A and B are shown apart, each in its own frame.
Chain A
Amino acid sequence: MWNQIGIVGTLVVSISLITFGIIGLTVFLERLYKKNAK
């Protein structure tokens, strides 16, 4: 039971971290880009 929760949790956390990491990086670069363009 705990093993299963751990496995599913690991998958969910990993997918979320990478997905939102890439989105976050894009948002950060977008802001940086706009800041420098001013």
Chain B
Amino acid sequence: MEMKSFEIFPKDPKKTYGLMELVEGKSPIVDKEPEDTVFTWPHLFSIEFLAVLITVAVLLFLSMYVEAPLEQVASTATTPNPMKAPWYFLGLQELLVYFDPWIAGVVLPVIILIGLMLIPFLDVNPKGAGYYTFSERKFAVSVYAFGMGLWLTLLIVGVWFRGLDWNWYWYWEKSYVHKPLLSGLRDIPVIITGVLGVSEFAGKAIADLIMLAYFAGGFIIPVFIFRNFYKRLGLLRYLITMGLFLLMVGVPIKIGLRLVFSIKYIMVTPWFKI
């Protein structure tokens, strides 16, 4: 019986050539490390499929034992008080307390949606793709987190803290007793007119200047403090980013002014009031 040779280059008397030497050379796969990836199927799909099964099972059992919070059949004779939107719209409804309907219901949502759509075009930081990082994207993560905090807070207030007549009700207060309606809210132009003793027009003009100063300061001051930030973005991107940022920060400022100083409007014009 012939012995099987396990030599790589077995000696063969019929061969008319031989391997003389191995030479180091270059080829397209030089320096390529072994791949440490695995196939999508079955490694990823099996995990995903398991996740789907568990999610469906949990939802199925939840829906069997937890009642959906449906109310009575709608009636044209009675309007519920308070009339609450679905929970995911309550942030928007809560904004109505602090802004005029068309600003809270149309302008702000449109700006938010356009702003979110613009993020990929405004973001010039290439880092953080495919992995979690805060240290390399401090501004982006912080701004996002703050916006999310603001939005979710409005939602939480709308869902759990608003009762009859959209008044603020604490958990321990009787939710069926009406509260006196808030009064004594004043506009900044009126306050300025009263305090400084100037004409109504001057009061309005000063209020407009305050608003102008907020945006002008917000646009100009960071250019000098965060020089690199401005340089990296370029003028147009910087203006859009800061415009959206200032509007976002302006929302809690407006909310705070109303709650702490009983201020209704900062700026009053014949066309809109903010």
Contacts and interface: CB of A to CB of B under 8 A. Distances in A.
Nearest to B173: A3
Interface string B163-193: 0000010100000000000000000000000
Contacts of A7: 168, 259
B161 A15 contact: no
A2 to B, nearest CB: 11
Contacts of B153: 11, 14-15, 18
A7 B161 CA distance: 9
B152 interface: yes
Given A4-B260, A8-B259, A11-B157, A19 B131 contact: no
Interface residues of B, number: 25
A26 B141 contact: yes
B25 to A, nearest CB: 33
Contacts of B157: 10-11, 14
The dominant DSSP class at the A interface is helix
B148 interface: yes
Given A4-B259, A15-B150, A27-B134, A22 B168 contact: no
A2 B132 CA distance: 41
Interface of A: 3-4, 6-8, 10-11, 14-23, 26-27, 29-30, 32-33
21 contacts: A4-B259, A6-B170, A7-B168, A8-B259, A11-B252, A14-B152, A15-B153, A15-B252, A18-B145, A19-B148, A22-B145, A22-B148, A22-B149, A23-B134, A26-B133, A26-B141, A30-B132, A30-B133, A30-B134, A32-B132, A33-B132
